[in-house]
């Protein structure tokens, strides 16, 4: 069942009125070897957001991406550290605006939906609106990517809160206070996971909005590896759970170790009660050592949970130090 905010988003009018002159909008596009598509992306967003600044950040492309983006009228900059996360971190640091629209440069996202996403962000005072991908084209949204997105999104939302349906979407509109307070620690395609968990963990106002997902242009290839990047995203989820939910994380490890210790130790205890002897002394030592480690894991979880609470409060205060999206008159 979709969340109330998600249903609210998808029920809005298709062509809302956005007073772009009242807000400084920046379209930020991370790009790597997208000479086939980047020109169309820039032109499409220029058409629907004529007053917005459009930035293309090139990430060591070996084709004509930079030249094509400049010809299309984009402000082109470069980031030498490889990876989408590195590019997004640089864009968030460099670009100054009231509202940020993050989109991939592969021409798979619906530019016509941009005013609707921005309007939703402004009218409802949100910090992030995610373009939830809807597509009937199998080549555009491959089954492997679709299943992986569903699985990873389900894992994250079950832990941090069920407030999004497309965690890995590369189409997002964000407020200034969200962008400028976001730590951006990841290097690659894990950046979308980090964005989502950051919003969920601080309980920021966010929503989803249906957008059409389009097939790639001929000659344009996806940079996302289903298994390699999927494993990286899963690793990022585990790391974020450890950092943001340390009590639950270390409690689970403690419980697993305790079960192992009991499996090893119960036969030894039974034999000792029956005979008064401990013939398998090494196993007894191992079992006792595992119990000690399990107890230490549990105590570490309690301590780190207090530390995480302090970190969360600091992040929240940093977020509040930036002004909110000014209301539209």
Residue-number span of the structural domain to which 209 is assigned: 4-243
Q: Are residues 233 and 275 in the same domain?
A: no
Percent of the chain predicted with pLDDT > 90: 67
pLDDT at residue 142, as a whole number = 58
Q: How confident is the model at residue 257 (pLDDT cuts 50, 70, 90)?
A: very high
Q: What is the mean pLDDT of residues 157-174?
A: 92
Q: Is residue 63 part of a domain?
A: yes
155, 195: one domain: yes
As beta bridge partners, residue 26 has 53, 100
Q: Give the pLDDT band (50/70/90) at residue 222.
A: low
- Any domain includes 81: yes
CA angle 20, 183, 31 (to 5 degrees): 60
Domain boundary among 243, 276, 299: 243
Determine contact, residues 163/5, Cβ cutoff 8 Å.
Answer: yes
Residue 190 domain-assigned (yes or no): yes
Averaged pLDDT score across all residues of the chain: 87
In a domain, 327, yes or no: no
Q: How far apart are CA 113 and CA 147, in angstroms?
A: 24
| 224 vs 102 pLDDT, higher one | 102
pLDDT for the residue numbered 18: 45
Q: Is residue 122 part of a domain?
A: yes
Residue 180 has pLDDT above 50, yes or no: yes
The reply to whether 313 and 175 lie within a common domain is no
Q: 8 lies in a domain?
A: yes
**Number of domains composing the chain:** 2
pLDDT tens digits, 76-108: 999 999 999 999 999 999 999 999 999 999 999
Checking if the pLDDT of 66 tops 60, the result is yes
Residue 325 lies in a domain: no
Q: Yes or no: say if 170 and 101 are a contact pair by the CB < 8 Å rule.
A: no
My answer on whether 183 and 267 are in the same domain is no
Q: What is the pLDDT of residue 20?
A: 47
280 and 143 both lie in a single domain: no
What does the pLDDT average to over 32-45? 94
Both 224 and 84 in a single domain?
A: yes
Cβ count near 33 (within 10 Å): 20
Residues 198 and 125 in one domain: yes
pLDDT digits (tens, 9 = 90+) for 133-157: 886 554 445 566 678 788 889 999 9
Asked whether residue 162 falls in the same domain as residue 109, the answer is yes
Same domain, yes or no: 156 and 174: yes
For residue 28, what is the domain's CATH number? Answer: 3.90.550.10
pTM of the predicted structure, to 2 decimals: 0.82
Report the run of H or E that residue 57 belongs to, with start and end.
strand 53-58
Ranked by mean pLDDT, the top range of 5-14, 72-81, 155-164, 219-228 is 72-81
- Domain closes at, from 196, 211, 243: 243
**255 and 239 inside one domain:** no
Q: What is the pLDDT of residues 290-319, one digit of tens each?
A: 999 999 999 999 999 999 999 999 999 999
Mark whether 220 and 300 lie in a shared domain.
no
In a domain, 328, yes or no: no
The pLDDT, as a whole number, for residue 272 is 81
Per-residue confidence at 13, pLDDT binned at 50, 70, 90? very low
pLDDT at 3: 43
Among 215, 243, 271, identify where a domain stops. Answer: 243
Reported confidence tier of residue 177, pLDDT bands at 50, 70, 90: very high
H helices present in 161-280, as ranges: 176-181, 191-201, 226-244, 246-275
């Amino acid at each position: 069942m979709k969340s109330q905010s998600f249903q609210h988003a998808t029920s809005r009018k298709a062509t809302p009125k956005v007073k772009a002159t009242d807000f400084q909008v920046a379209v930020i596009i991370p790009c790597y070897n997208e000479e086939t598509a980047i020109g169309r992306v820039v032109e499409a967003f220029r058409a629907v957001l004529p007053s917005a600044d459009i930035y293309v950040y090139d990430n060591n492309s070996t084709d004509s991406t930079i030249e094509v983006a400049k010809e299309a009228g984009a402000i082109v900059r470069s980031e030498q550290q490889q990876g989408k996360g590195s590019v997004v971190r640089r864009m968030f640091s460099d670009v100054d605006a009231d509202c940020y629209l993050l989109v991939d440069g592969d021409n798979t996202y619906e530019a016509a939906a941009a005013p609707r996403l921005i309007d939703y962000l402004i009218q409802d005072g949100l910090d992030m609106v995610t373009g939830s991908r809807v597509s009937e084209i199998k080549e555009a949204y491959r089954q492997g990517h679709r299943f992986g997105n569903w699985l990873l999104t389900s894992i994250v939302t079950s832990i941090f809160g069920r407030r999004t349906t497309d965690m890995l979407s590369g189409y997002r509109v964000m407020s200034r206070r969200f962008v400028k307070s976001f730590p951006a620690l990841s290097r690659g395609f894990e950046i979308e996971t980090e964005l989502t968990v950051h919003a969920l963990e601080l309980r920021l106002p966010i929503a989803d909005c249906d957008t059409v997902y389009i097939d790639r242009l001929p000659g344009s290839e996806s940079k996302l590896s289903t298994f390699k990047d999927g494993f990286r995203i899963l690793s990022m989820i585990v790391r974020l759970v450890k950092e943001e939910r340390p009590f639950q994380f270390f409690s689970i490890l403690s419980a697993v170790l305790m079960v192992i210790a009991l499996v090893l130790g119960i036969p030894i205890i039974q034999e000792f009660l029956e005979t008064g002897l401990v013939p398998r002394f090494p196993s007894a030592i191992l079992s006792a050592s595992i119990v000690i480690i399990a107890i230490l894991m549990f105590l570490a979880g309690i301590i780190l949970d207090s530390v995480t609470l302090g970190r969360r409060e600091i992040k929240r205060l940093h977020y509040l130090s930036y002004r909110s999206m000014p209301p539209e008159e």
